[in-house]
Amino acid sequence: QVQLQQSGPGLVKPSQTLSLTCAISGDSVSSNSGVWNWIRQSPSRGLEWLGRTYYRSKWHNNYAVSVKSRITINPDTSKNQFSLQLNSVTPEDTAVYYCASGSRATDTVFDYWGQGTLVTVSS
């Protein structure tokens, strides 16, 4: 059973960088079947997939067009976790952020979710 534990600040100032980490237990971030995602949810934008990282002989990343210029998702194999960095945040980035993963043949199924982190962008 995979468990995902999120950590990171709940308050970020405008123009600064939002940073969250998702620690994995029950699987390896570098497994050849796991896919590691960040998703956010707000009343105005609903559920919004932000991006993912996964290892298939080499590391791959995909990012949503809406945040592509500002986002980085990195695996950390030494700590078995992955992180989200979102630069130049604005109040529009206020949302509950989730890490989520799956390891099915269809790699867009999110079987496991972190507990969610409410991130507020405010001065």
Partner 1 sequence: QSVLTQPPSVSAAPGQKVTISCSGSSSNIGNNYVSWYQQLPGTAPKVLIYDNNKRPSGIPDRFSGSKSGTSATLGITGLQTGDEADYYCGTWHSSLNAVVFGGGTKLTVL
Please identify, using beta-carbon distances, which residue of 32 and 108 lies nearer to partner 1. 108
Residue 43 amino acid letter: P
Site string for partner 1, 56-75 (x = CB under 8 A): ------xxxx----------
Which among 83, 78, 70 has a CA at the least distance from the CA of 19? 83
Q: How far is the CB of 21 from partner 1 (least distance, A)?
A: 17
Beta-carbon neighbour count of residue 71 at 10 Å? Answer: 18
Choice from 30, 47, 77, 88 touching partner 1 (CB under 8 A): 47
Residue 95 amino acid letter: A
Stretch that binds partner 1, among 16-24, 74-82, 86-94, 97-105 (CB under 8 A): 97-105
Q: 101 - beta bridge partners?
A: 36, 112
**Taking CB under 8 A as the rule, does residue 34 contact partner 1?**
no
Q: What is the spatial distance between Cα 114 and Cα 28, in angstroms, rounded to a whole number?
A: 15
Q: How far is the CB of 45 from partner 1 (least distance, A)?
A: 9
**Taking CB under 8 A as the rule, does residue 104 contact partner 1?**
yes
Tokens at residue 44, please?
A: 């105005």
Cβ contact 61:83 at 8 Å: no
Binding site for partner 1 (CB under 8 A): 37, 46-49, 52, 62-65, 98, 100, 104, 106, 108-111, 113-116
